[in-house]
Structure 1
Amino acid sequence: MSADVTEVFEEHRTVLEGVAYRMLGRVHDAEDVVQEAWLRWSAADREAVREPRAYLVRITTRLAIDKLRQLRSRNEAYVGPWLPEPLVTDLRPGGPREEEGGEERAVLAESVSLAVLVVLESLSPLERAVFVLREAFGFPYAEIAEALERGEPAVRQLGARARRHVDERKPRFEVDPQLQRSLTERFLKASVEGDLEGLMAVLAPEVRLVSDSAGKAKAPRQVIAGADKVGRFLAAVGPEGADGAYGFSFLEINGGQALLATVEGRPDAVFLADVADGLIQSVYLIRNPDKVAHLGVHVPEAGGEHP
């Protein structure tokens, strides 16, 4: 196999992985889709391919649609709320995407946020594909229509419906990244220390806590709503890490600050928060071991740092 075949694919891998993850909300399934796209690319008649990027995105999108339809049937038996698999994005200064401007970072952060990905779950696979390709990556409608084998007017209609649906349902986000980081760190620190007063100072009155454990770890199987209930729950579970077996470290996950809790060096839970109007509006707790295991490569060797 010639080197240019691999080079061309690697040149577009980031875009393909981005499309697949936003379509599926699952890291490993997105990786599987991209791997299948590579196999099809390596076996294709590349002399007939005029635009490799468009060709690869088309293959990846179609594979992701097929995979999404399979996964949705499995989700019907899922225990408790479903949340996307956490993705380390690292948008901090000095991170791998530092070369991108502020606007591009903002688009990336929103398009992979848990809140938006949860809303995307309620779209049809075709609506989701159009939304991802158009809103997150800026593909022209004509190119999206070709990828989906649909007429352009129909694709524009799908896109408008998806955009309207997302706008109506997605939470508002704090636009100041420094304020968002500061408030999130205060919240996470208070959670770890079991500081109820500190929690109540940063939680919005109607805050919601959504946890995903798939019944495989201890976590609420229903959404907890209201500052008092959410604060008391977090304050009660926070001191569990005081026995020294737990480690804590900050990561940038799905475009926002998150806390990774570990037990004996193994990922145990991820806490994320949505911020708006200077308060925490939503809290996400992911404890499904199948969804956090891949974060083990990001656990500090020294056993973690306490916020």
Structure 2
Amino acid sequence: MKITTLSLELASGQTQLFGEETTLAGLKAQLKDILDSVALVDANDVLTMPTLIIQAKFRLVEITFTYELLDKEEGLLALYYNNGKDREQQKVFGYVRFEELEQHLQKLLRQSEREFIEYYFPKQTKLMQVIKYTVIAYLCVASFGFMSLGFFPNLIWREVFFQSAYVAAAITYVMSLPILIISRLLKEKKEQVALVRQSTTKQVIAILVVNVFLSCGVIVGGSNLFHVITAEEVKIDIVFSDKSRDYWSKHCKGGVNVEHFYGAVCLEDKAYWQVIHPGIRAVAQGESSAIAFNVESLELK
């Protein structure tokens, strides 16, 4: 392809035209001349810079790069594609160096329209769509899991289940990790994130860390949902095993622990909390399932 128009929109509103370009050597010279002609404009104590617009037009197709200069080394780059039939597609690269803009324009000159569009706007295959919606569902379930903790402040987990929950979270982590990494790499290929200076290695490391919390959130969400569906109203005998050192603890006011359960029950009544010590028995009323017990009321024996 060839660049049909190189122009510079100045802060004053005027447009400076530089004509078309068909060769890599000519492009390099043109860009150097344009960069040398750029001047800072002080408008009300605010430095404003012009916008470089590069267009390639043929038949009904219009490809446009806009580069809003931050200074003479860096600017905000965006790409627009319109084939005259479908809706306009666009891609914002973020702030990139001037040298990276030149790389994009070299690609515009070297490639055909089909190659260029497939590179910057690849079509989603069915596999990519499945991966995309799987990741969205995974994130939604994990978010629900963490949000659900606020609805069950006195939900305590049976020890037997809590031990197996670690295994379930580990399995979820291992199974979801390849999907998240593939999804990220596919998105990177589509958006060319590397040009915004985010290395693939850093992204993979971030996924490795974040997925620890996501897999835990999925298990918590699934477990809470299972508890809600299967729980029945019961009364059970419990034995207190411990309590928080201070009534005004950070996450649970008046926290007490129960034998054979993991998690704390929060007691609003400070006087009630003060008389509890390890070994004291009580009758707890609440909703019980195979994995947890949601305490609604306590009565000391």
Looking at secondary structure, tell me which structure has more helix per residue: 1
TM-score (norm 1): 0.25
TM-score (norm 2): 0.25
Looking at secondary structure, tell me which structure has more strand per residue: 2
